[in-house]
Amino acid sequence: MADGTSGTSGSGCGGGGEPEVSDSLRTFGEVVKGFRKRAGLTQEEFAPRVGYSLPTVASIEQGRRFPQRDFVERAEDVLDACGILRGAARHLSRQPGLASWFRQWARLEAEAVSLYTYECRVVPGLLQTAGYARAVSLSVPPLPDSEELDQRVAARINRQDLLSTCRKPPTAFSFIVEQAVLERHTGSEEVTRELYDHLLLVVERQWNVEFQLMPLQQPVHAGLDGPMRLAETPDNQWFAYSEGQENGRLVTDSKAISRLHQRYAKMRSQALTPEDSVGLLKRMRGAL
Q: What pLDDT, in 10s, does the model give residues 209-267?
A: 999 999 999 999 999 999 999 999 988 999 999 988 877 888 889 999 999 999 999 99
pLDDT higher than 60, residue 13: no
Bigger pLDDT: 167 vs 223? 223
Check whether 15 has a pLDDT greater than 60: no
d(CA 100, CA 64): 9
**Under a CB-based contact definition with an 8 Å cutoff, are residues 208 and 163 in contact?**
yes
pLDDT at 243: 86
In angstroms, how far is CA 241 from the centroid of its own chain? Answer: 10
pLDDT level of residue 63 (50, 70, 90 thresholds): confident
Alpha carbons 9 and 101: distance in angstroms, whole number: 12
Report the 10 Å Cβ neighbour count for 150. Answer: 16
Q: Which of 10, 155, 35 is nearest to 85 (CA)?
A: 35
- In this structure, of 88-102, 118-132, 152-166, 181-195, the range with the lowest mean pLDDT score is 88-102
Question: DSSP readout, the chain?
Answer: --SSSSSSS------TTPPP--HHHHHHHHHHHHHHHHTT--HHHHHHHHT--HHHHHHHHTT-SPPPHHHHHHHHHHTT-TTHHHHHHTT----TTS-GGGHHHHHHHHH-SEEEEEESSS--GGG--HHHHHHHHTTSSSPP-HHHHHHHHHHHHHGGGGG-TTSSSPPEEEEEEEHHHHHT-SS-HHHHHHHHHHHHHHHHH-TTEEEEEEPS--SS-TTTT--EEEEE-TTS-EEEEEEETTEEEEE--HHHHHHHHHHHHHHHHHSPPHHHHHHHHHHHHHH-
Average pLDDT over residues 22-46: 89
Is residue 24's pLDDT more than 70? yes
**The predicted structure's pLDDT at residue 127:** 97
Strands 228-232 and 114-119, by their bridges, are antiparallel
Average pLDDT score over the chain: 87
pLDDT digits (tens, 9 = 90+) for 118-136: 999 999 999 999 999 999 9
pLDDT tens for residues 80-91? 999 889 888 876
* In the predicted structure, residue 268 carries a pLDDT above the cut 50: yes
Asked if residue 160 has pLDDT above 50, the reply is yes
pLDDT at 92 over 90: no
Rounded to a whole number of angstroms, the CA Rg of the chain reads 22
Is the pLDDT at 21 greater than 70? The verdict is no
Q: Is the pTM of this model over 0.75?
A: no
Nearest of 171, 126, 148 to residue 3 by alpha carbon: 126
